Amino acid sequence: MFTGIITDIGTITETVQEGDLRARISTAYDTAAIDMGASIASDGVCLTVVALGPDWYEVQISAETVSRTNLTAWTPGKRVNLERALRVGDELGGHIVSGHVDGVAEVVSVTEEGDSTRVVLHAPAELAKFIAPKGSVALNGTSLTVNEVDGQEFGINFIPHTKVATTWGDVAVGDQVNLEIDTLARYVARLAEMHSV
């Protein structure tokens, strides 16, 4: 379980296809305090630590996970948003994020508005119905508030702090973004479906 509050920006240093995809991620986290088997959200994908070094960790990624996320773009040098798993007593600053990505959204426009950046994304049709104005989404692991929705497109506003503390300062049109819809929205929609039958 995560909150969508990014606590480090890691860098992919190596990827190897060996049955599953294996990736090494450099990090500022104290890796001596990370257990083998720990979960770390990496660009919003909950991944299990399978090896550790002094300033890096490695994860193994199944073909199923690769097919549902933007991890095919993971190449050496790519920066990724990182978040360690929530612990009892931690502050819940974002919203409840599972790290189970629902699909990939595409950035369709990036506009500077004062010091902030307005980004419009196109969501897959099957997920767009779960996105609501002023609701929450997790994009590349970052807990964000939706400004507006127009069909399958939705807008997000990034303040300067978010652009510096995450990889969102690098956003460009055409980027493929890991999208996790709000768990509450999923269950409300499911209940509505059941009541309309």
Residue type, 3: T
Q: Tell me: do 26 and 65 sit in the same domain.
A: yes
State the residue range of the domain holding 65.
8-84
Q: Are 72 and 66 in contact (CB under 8 A)?
A: yes
| Position 61 in a domain | yes
Cα separation, 61 vs 19, whole angstroms: 10
Q: What is the pTM of this model?
A: 0.92
| Position 161 in a domain | yes
For residue 187, give the CATH number of its domain.
2.40.30.20
**Three-class SS state of 60:** strand
Burial annotation 82-102 (CB, 10 A radius, 16+ → b, else e): bbbebeeeeeeebbbbebebb
Tokens 């257990």 found at: 35
- Over its length of 197 residues, how does the chain's per-residue pLDDT go in tens digits? 898 999 999 999 999 998 899 999 999 999 999 999 999 999 999 999 999 999 999 999 999 999 999 999 999 999 999 999 977 666 666 788 889 999 999 999 999 999 999 999 999 999 999 999 999 999 999 999 999 999 999 999 999 999 999 999 999 999 999 999 987 777 676 677 777 66
Cα separation, 111 vs 197, whole angstroms: 42
